[in-house]
Chain A
Amino acid sequence: MEQRQQVVKAFAARGVEPDAIVLGVTGTPGSGKSSLVARLTTHLLDHDHSLRIGVVAVDPSSHLSGGSLLGDRTRLRPSASSGRLFFRSQASATELGGLGPSSFQVCRLLAYLVDMVLVETVGVGQSEADVRHLADQVYLVLQPLGGDEVQFLKAGIIEVPHAFVLNKCDEPQAQQSLHHLQSSLWLARPFDTEPVPVFQTSAKTGQGIGELAEAMAATLHGAHPGIVGREPYFFERWVKDEWGRVGTAYLERSLGGSADCLVRSGGFEAAQRDFHDRLVASLTRAPVGAHP
Chain B
Amino acid sequence: MLWLDAGQAAYRRDVTEQRAVHRLYDADGEPTRDKPWIIRTYAGHSSPKASNELYRKNLAAGQTGLSIAFDLPTQCGYSSDDPIAGPEIGKVGVPINTLDDMEFLFEGIPLEQMNTSMTINGTAMWLLALYVAVARERGEDVTKLTGTTQNDLVKEYLARGTYIYPPTESMRIIAEMYEFCLDAMPKWNASNICSYHLQEAGATPAQELAFALANALSLLDLLEQRGHFTPEQFERAVGRISFFVNAGIRFVEEMSKMRAFVELWDELLVERYGVQDEKYRRFRYGVQVNSLGLTETQPENNAWRILLEALGVTLSRNARCRALQLPAWNEAMSLPRPWDQQWSLRLQQILAYETDLLEYPDIFDGSPVIEAKVAELKAGAREEVDRIMEMGGVIPAIESGYMKSSLVRSMSERVSRINTGDQIVVGVNRWTESLPSPLLSGEDRGIFKLDESAIRDTVEHLEATKARRDPDRVARALDALQQAARDGTSMMEPSIECALARVTTGEWAGALREVFGEYRPATGVEGQQLNLSGDRVDALRARLDALTDALGHRPRLVVGKPGLDGHSNGAEVIAVSARHVGFDVIYSGIRLSAEEIVTSAVEEGADVIGASVLSGSHVALAEQIVDGLRANGAGHIRVVLGGIVPESDFEKLHAIGVRQVYTPANYQLLDIMDAIVGMLESDAEVPPPGGAVAS
Contact = CB atoms under 8 A, between A and B. Distances in A.
B581 A65 contact: yes
Contact of B581 (A67, A70, A71, A206): A67
Interface stretch (B130-138, B448-456, B461-469, B583-591): B583-591
A65 B510 contact: no
Contacts of B585: 67-70
A206 B482 CA distance: 11
Contacts of A70: 584-587
B473 interface: no
A261 B393 CA distance: 68
B578 interface: yes
A86 interface: yes
Contact of A69 (B486, B517, B587): B587
B482 to A, nearest CB: 9
A5 to B, nearest CB: 16
A204 interface: yes
B541 A86 contact: no
B603 A86 contact: yes
B399 interface: no
B575 interface: yes
B582 A204 contact: no
A86 B604 CA distance: 9
B589 A206 contact: no
Interface in A58-78: 61-62, 65-71, 73-74, 77
A284 interface: no
Nearest to B599: A87
A67 B676 CA distance: 15
A69 B525 contact: yes
A65 B517 contact: no
Interface string A86-120: 11110100000000000000000000000000000
A79 B79 CA distance: 12
A91 B580 CA distance: 14
A73 B554 contact: no
B603 A65 contact: no
A65 B604 contact: no
A165 B587 CA distance: 27
A176 interface: no
A193 interface: no
B554 A91 contact: yes
Interface string B507-530: 000100011010010000100000
A205 interface: yes
A74 B559 CA distance: 11
Interface residues of A, number: 21
B604 A88 contact: yes
Contacts of A69: 525, 575-576, 579, 585, 587
Given A66-B554, A67-B554, A74 B584 contact: no
Contacts of B544: 65-67
Contacts of B579: 62, 65, 67-69
Given A66-B541, A79-B510, A204-B517, A73 B588 contact: yes
Nearest to A83: B599
A18 to B, nearest CB: 19
Given A79-B510, A86-B603, A91-B554, A67 B587 contact: no
B545 interface: yes
Contacts of B515: 205-206
Contacts of A65: 541, 544, 579-582
A73 B525 CA distance: 13
Contact of B586 (A79, A89, A204): A89
A73 B586 contact: yes
A241 to B, nearest CB: 15
Given A67-B579, A87-B603, A74 B541 contact: no
A211 B486 CA distance: 17
Contacts of A61: 584
> Which of B554, B578, B579, B585 has the most chain A CB atoms inside 10 A of its CB?
B579
A71 B604 CA distance: 12
B554 A89 contact: no
Contacts of A74: 520, 587-589
B384 to A, nearest CB: 33
Interface in A269-287: none
Interface string B101-118: 000000000000000000
Contacts of A67: 544, 554, 578-585
A66 B554 CA distance: 9
Contacts of A73: 586-589, 600, 604
Interface string A223-235: 0000000000000
B561 to A, nearest CB: 10
B178 to A, nearest CB: 24
A77 B583 CA distance: 24
B546 to A, nearest CB: 12
Contacts of A206: 486, 514-515
Contacts of A87: 600, 603-604
A240 to B, nearest CB: 20
Nearest to A65: B582
Nearest to A43: B514
B632 to A, nearest CB: 11
A73 B599 CA distance: 11
A91 B589 contact: no
A71 B575 CA distance: 10
Nearest to A54: B603
Contacts of B583: 67
A73 B596 CA distance: 11
Nearest to A207: B486
Interface in B126-171: none
Contacts of B510: 79
A61 B545 CA distance: 14
B326 to A, nearest CB: 39
Contact of B525 (A71, A89, A204): A71
Interface in A28-79: 61-62, 65-71, 73-74, 77, 79
Nearest to B581: A65
B266 to A, nearest CB: 41
A88 B603 contact: yes
A204 B554 CA distance: 34
A68 B582 CA distance: 7
B545 A66 contact: yes
A67 B600 CA distance: 18
Nearest to A71: B587
A204 B605 CA distance: 31
A205 B587 contact: no
A91 B584 contact: yes
A205 B589 CA distance: 22
B558 to A, nearest CB: 9
B73 to A, nearest CB: 14
Interface in B564-621: 575-576, 578-589, 596, 600, 603-605
Nearest to B82: A79
B687 to A, nearest CB: 20
A208 B298 CA distance: 61
Contacts of A89: 586, 604
Nearest to B515: A206
A22 B525 CA distance: 31
Smallest CB-CB A-B distances: 10 pairs: A74-B589, A67-B582, A69-B579, A65-B582, A67-B579, A71-B587, A73-B588, A91-B584, A70-B586, A69-B585
Given A71-B587, A74-B589, 4 more contacts: A66-B582, A67-B582, A88-B605, A206-B486
Interface of B: 486, 510, 514-515, 517, 520, 525, 541, 544-545, 548, 554, 575-576, 578-589, 596, 600, 603-605
11 contacts: A66-B544, A67-B583, A67-B585, A69-B575, A69-B585, A73-B600, A79-B510, A87-B603, A88-B605, A91-B554, A205-B515
Interface of A: 61-62, 65-71, 73-74, 77, 79, 86-89, 91, 204-206
